[in-house]
Amino acid sequence: MTRLTLLAIIFAVALTAPTRATTADSTVLIQWNQTIQDTIPGGGGAGAPRFFALAHIAMFDAVNSIEREFDPYHVRVWLGFGSSEAAAAQAAHDVMVALNPAATATYDALLQQQLGKAPKGFQRLGVTVGARVAAAVLAWRQNDGWIVPSFPAYAEPLLPGRWQPTPPANAAASFTHAGQAKPLAMVSSTHFLPAPPPILTSARYATDLNEVKAIGKSDSVTRTPEQTAIARLWASIAASGTGTATHYSSIWNNIARDVARARGLSLVETARLFVLMNVSIHDALQTTLTSKFIYGVWRPVTAIRQADTDLNPDTDADATWSTLIPTPPYPSYAGNMATIGASAARALGLALRTNRVLVTTTWRQSAGQPDVVHHFTTLSDVAQEQADSRVYGGIHYRFDNEAGQTAGRAVAEYVFANFMRPK
């Protein structure tokens, strides 16, 4: 073999071998996560997980197409090499412009800040990877059933235990389409469907109804001031009861950003962390939304006002009972907030290989009210406070929470076991 032939072989191998940008900076991901958080329409809500999940799937697959350390989540572009940071930036930009065109100027500005006015060479190759991945992710989710012109009508018979619109608004049910939409990871919306709730005549039903009746009442004498603040904050209401506070989806993404920085995670590890958490939240929330319309359980405010119809000797009616925080317009079982916290905590714990993480959560409040800061020693402690907040607020039974937590953990474990596995 001649020296010239040997050099040609070495050069060819260099072009085709996996190129891992081990010095790639995760700042680009952190900046996009923050920008998504700041531009989500309406500041959050049940639609927020879709924005976070799709943008982060695109960023992960773009970065991983170059780094090649994990199985792809959805797609791999076989360009071979390029700037991982540029790939992530372009992927996030293109997905978010498509999902939220009203904020295009903000997304354009961030992209230019990260790439400059005229990307060149290695950076331009990354841009190509990011654009191709974003196009594939958007095509994949184009007709996933989540975007509907209006929610399908839903009603339950006027029978004890069955959901009815709740005061004061008595609004029609929302998110009734969740069961027909396409999950991001699960096989179907009922993949981890919770078991049926306790029957009305059971001791468990009476115990949990009486708990929320006592502690969740608008003027409860058993709820502490701290519990009142917790209920309001996790409902995005200022602790005072007047004004707004940081949304739950922002709280968990704040935690993920803090953890990624504190642990010095690489670009691809950070990308994977955000996907594991946000996809788990998305599919766990779809699970509990679906279960609500399968089981159709009445909300505590209805159950307490009509307790004289439930045939349970251990419950008593209070016709004027009302909640601390507003009741969302859909059935009670299983609990959305509980499953969000459980899925997020379990996903982060699996990615970090520990549940013991020092966590600080900060709620920023409107109208100049001071920030509220809570400190935790484990991820699951954050999730438990989030679940308990709904009992304190009067809108969920504890059996709602436990079912939601079980489903949330199961979803996170499924996502971790089946997606983005290490090479």
pLDDT digits (tens, 9 = 90+) for 333-359: 999 999 999 999 999 999 999 999 999
Query: What pLDDT does residue 41 have?
Result: 85
Average pLDDT, the chain: 93
Q: What is the mean pLDDT of residues 209-219?
A: 98
Report the percentage of the chain scoring pLDDT > 90. 89
Look at residues 304, 309, 36, 8 and name the one whose alpha carbon lies nearest to residue 157.
309
Q: DSSP class of residue 103? A: G
Q: Does residue 8 lie within any of the structural domains?
A: no
Last residue of a domain, one of 87, 122, 140: 140
Mean pLDDT of 226-236: 98
For residue 129, is it within any domain?
Answer: yes
pLDDT at 98 over 90: yes
DSSP string covering 7-45, please?
HHHHHHHHHHS----TT--THHHHHHHHHHHHHSGGG-S
Q: Is the pLDDT of residue 48 over 60?
A: yes
Lowest mean pLDDT among 48-57, 112-121, 195-204, 315-324: 112-121
Alpha-carbon radius of gyration of the chain: 24
Residue pLDDT, tens place only, 370-420: 999 999 999 999 999 999 999 999 999 999 999 999 999 999 999 999 999
Q: Is there a contact between 52 and 99 (Cβ–Cβ < 8 Å)?
A: no
* Residue range 78-90: mean pLDDT, rounded: 91
Q: How far is CA 213 from CA 201, 216, 324, 402, in A?
A: 17, 6, 11, 18
Instruction: Give the residue-averaged pLDDT of 53-59.
Output: 98
Q: Which two tokens stand for residue 126?
A: 């990354």
Q: Is pLDDT of 114 > 50?
A: yes
Residue 257 buriedness (CB in 10 A; 0-12 / 13-18 / 19+)? buried
Average pLDDT (224-239) is 98
One domain, residues 101 and 209: no
Q: What is the reported pLDDT for 80?
A: 66
CA 366: distance to chain centroid?
23
Asked whether residue 237 falls in the same domain as residue 102, the answer is no
Share of the chain above pLDDT 70, in %: 94
Structure tokens at 282: 């998305």
With tokens 């991945």, the residue in question is 133
Residues 6+ apart with CB under 8 A from 55: 32, 36, 91, 92, 95, 96, 99
232 shares its domain with 118: no
Same domain (yes/no): 313, 413? yes
Q: Is residue 186 part of a domain?
A: yes
Point out the domain boundary residue: 94, 111, 140.
140
Is residue 173 included in any domain, yes or no? Answer: no
Is residue 375 located within the same domain as residue 279? Answer: yes
Question: Do 220 and 78 sit in the same domain of this protein?
Answer: no
Q: Is residue 151 a part of any domain in this protein? A: no
Which residues have a Cβ under 8 Å from the Cβ of 104 and sit 6 or more positions away?
97
Residue 1 lies in a domain: no
Per the structure, the complete domain to which residue 50 belongs is given by: 14-140
| pTM of the complete model | 0.93
Tokens 């709280």 found at: 251
Residues 324, 214 share a domain: yes
Domains: count for the chain: 2
pLDDT of residue 20: 39
CATH of the domain at 308: 1.10.606.20
Q: Return d(Cα 266, Cα 60) in angstroms, integer.
A: 12
Asked if 126 and 256 sit in the same domain, the reply is no
Two tokens, residue 274: 């955000």
State pLDDT tens for residues 248-281.
989 999 999 999 999 999 999 999 999 999 999 9
Per-position DSSP letters for 268-291, written without gaps between them: HHHHHHHHHHHHHHHHHHHHHHHH
Residue 152 lies in a domain: no
Domain boundary among 119, 140, 161: 140
Same domain (yes/no): 278, 193: yes
Q: How far is CA 179 from the centre of its chain?
A: 17
Domain co-membership, 302 together with 383: yes
Calpha distance 331→299 (Å, rounded): 6
- The verdict on residue 36 lying in a domain is yes
Select from 195, 246, 235 the least CA-distant residue to 404: 195
Same domain, 345 and 197: yes
Residues 205, 274, single domain; the answer is yes
